[in-house]
Chain A
Amino acid sequence: GAVVSQHPSRVICKSGTSVKIECRSLDFQATTMFWYRQFPKKSLMLMATSNEGSKATYEQGVEKDKFLINHASLTLSTLTVTSAHPEDSSFYICSARDGGSGGLETQYFGPGTRLLVL
C-alpha cells in the first residue's frame, strides 16, 4: 500500500523556537495533504488542508501565522510551528490523498510527530 512518512518522529524544543515537520508521500503523488493535531485521549482535529501549489485552507480557530504550511511539490508538505509554546505540545499527524489511482476516499496517514515544547 501507499506510504507516507513524517520527519521528525519526535522533537523536543525550547519555548520560542520554530519547529518544521515534513510529510512525504513515498510512492504516489499527493495532490492534497491534511494536517491534524491530536491531544491525549482525544480524536484527530483537522488543522488545515493543503493542495499542491496553492495556499493551505485553515480550519476555524487555527492560526495560519502560527502554523505555516507549505505544499511545494506533489510529494512534500511541511508544517512549521512558529515560536512554539508549551501549549503547542501535541501529536501532529499528516495524511495524503492519492491523486492518481486512488479515489477521493483514499487517504494515507503518516506515523505522526510528537512535539514537546519546554
Chain B
Amino acid sequence: GQNIDQPTEMTATEGAIVQINCTYQTSGFNGLFWYQQHAGEAPTFLSYNVLDGLEEKGRFSSFLSRSKGYSYLLLKELQMKDSASYLCAVMDSNYQLIWGAGTKLIIKP
C-alpha cells in the first residue's frame, strides 16, 4: 500500500531551526510537496522536489532522497506565525497526491 509518515507534533523555539521529516512508500513517484496549513484554512504550497537534493526558498528549504524515500522540510529563524501544520504529499504514478497526516508545529517564545 501507499504510506506517508511524518511526526504528529513538534515544538520549537522562536528564532531557532526545525527539521520536519517525511518518509514515503508509494506506487511511483512524480514529486514530493510540502504544504503549510494554518488552523481553519486550506493548505498553501511551500515546495516541490522531484530531483534529489536541497531546494532553498528563503527561510524554508526542502530536501529529497528518492533512493531512501525520504524528505525533510527545514525552517530557519522561526517566527510565531510559522506555527501551523505542515503536510507532506507525494504525487504517485497516476499523478494523484498521497497525503501525510501532517505535523503540527508549535513555536514557543
Contact = CB atoms under 8 A, between A and B. Distances in A.
Interface residues of B, number: 21
Interface stretch (A11-19, A74-82, A109-117): A109-117
B43 A109 contact: yes
B70 interface: no
Interface of A: 34, 41-46, 49, 91, 93, 104-105, 107-112, 114
Nearest to A40: B39
Nearest to A34: B97
Interface in B34-71: 40-45, 48, 50
A109 B50 CA distance: 20
B42 A111 contact: yes
A112 B41 CA distance: 7
A90 B44 CA distance: 19
B30 A105 contact: yes
A95 to B, nearest CB: 8
Contacts of B40: 91, 112, 114
Contacts of B50: 105
B47 to A, nearest CB: 11
